[in-house]
C-alpha cells in the first residue's frame, strides 16, 4: 500500500462546527482561547526524525517512543489569551497519576458540557504534536512552565510527562513515578471527539 493510499484510509475524527464554537465559547468564559490541531499517527520516534530541532530530551524507553494509535483526529487545548501558552488544571500538581486523570476525565470533562466531546489525559505523542504544531503555526510554545502528565508507561511504575520549565527551553519527554506527586507535573486536559478510542 502506498503512503498516499494509507493516508486516505486513515480514520479521521473531527469536531463539528457547533462543537468547535462551543469549545471556543467555553474557553472565552474562562478568559482563555482554544487551539485545534489535527493529530496524526506519528510516534515520538517518527517525530524525532521529522522535527528533531524541537526536542531537548526524550526518555529512552522504546514503548514510549513507539506508542501510537493508528488514527488521525482533531484535538483541542485551552491556552492563555495573552501568552498563548497551554493552561493546566490549577492546583493539579503534587498529585499522583490516578488523581490527575480523575481531575481531567472526571471533573474537567463534566464541566465542559459540550455534547460529543470528551477531555482526556493525552498520550505523550499527542502532547508533543500539539506543542510542535503550535510553534509552527504561531511561533509560540504550548507547554511552558510545567510538564503535562501522560498515562504512558516507561520503566516499572514510571510514566511519561511532557513539557518544559523555561520559556526558552526545548521540549522534554521525561518520566516520574505514577504514584508520586511532583510540583512541576500538572494535569493538562486535551479535548477530542467523544467517539475516539484512545
Nearest to 31 by CA among 87, 76, 73: 87
Quick one: 85 exposed, middle or buried, by C-beta within 10 A (0-12, 13-18, 19+)?
A: middle
Q: Please tell me the predicted confidence (pLDDT) of residue 2.
A: 43
178 vs 160: CA distance, rounded Å? 9
Quick one: 114 exposed, middle or buried, by C-beta within 10 A (0-12, 13-18, 19+)?
A: buried
pLDDT tens digits for the chain (198 residues)?
344 444 444 569 999 999 999 999 999 999 999 999 999 999 999 999 999 999 999 999 999 999 999 999 999 999 999 999 999 999 999 999 999 999 999 999 999 999 999 999 999 999 999 999 999 999 999 999 999 999 999 988 899 999 999 999 999 999 998 888 789 999 999 999 999 998
Q: Please tell me the predicted confidence (pLDDT) of residue 177.
A: 86
CA dist 72 → 17, 56, 113, 118, 197 (Å) = 18, 26, 24, 16, 11
Cβ–Cβ under 8 Å, residues 127 and 54 = no
Q: What is the pTM of this model?
A: 0.93
pLDDT digits (tens, 9 = 90+) for 86-118: 999 999 999 999 999 999 999 999 999 999 999
Identify any residues that bridge with 33 across adjacent strands, giving them in sequence order.
79
Amino acid at each position: 500500500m502506498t503512503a498516499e493510499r494509507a493516508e486516505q484510509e486513515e480514520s479521521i475524527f473531527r469536531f463539528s462546527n457547533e462543537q468547535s464554537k462551543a469549545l471556543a465559547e467555553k474557553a472565552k468564559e474562562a478568559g482563555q482561547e482554544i487551539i485545534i490541531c489535527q493529530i496524526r499517527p506519528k510516534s515520538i520516534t517518527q517525530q524525532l526524525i521529522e522535527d528533531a530541532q524541537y526536542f531537548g530530551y526524550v526518555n529512552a524507553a522504546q514503548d514510549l517512543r513507539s506508542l501510537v494509535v493508528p488514527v488521525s483526529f482533531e484535538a483541542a487545548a485551552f491556552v492563555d489569551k495573552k501568552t498563548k501558552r497551554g493552561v493546566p488544571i490549577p492546583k493539579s500538581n503534587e498529585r499522583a497519576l490516578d488523581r490527575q486523570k480523575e481531575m481531567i476525565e472526571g471533573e474537567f470533562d463534566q464541566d465542559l458540557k459540550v455534547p460529543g466531546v470528551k477531555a482526556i489525559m493525552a498520550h505523550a505523542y499527542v502532547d508533543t504534536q500539539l506543542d510542535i504544531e503550535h510553534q509552527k503555526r504561531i511561533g509560540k510554545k504550548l507547554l511552558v512552565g510545567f510538564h503535562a502528565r501522560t498515562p504512558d508507561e516507561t520503566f516499572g511504575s514510571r510514566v511519561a510527562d511532557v513539557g518544559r520549565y523555561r520559556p526558552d527551553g526545548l521540549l522534554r519527554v521525561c518520566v516520574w513515578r505514577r504514584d508520586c506527586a511532583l510540583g512541576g507535573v500538572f494535569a493538562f486536559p486535551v479535548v477530542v471527539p467523544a467517539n475516539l478510542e484512545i
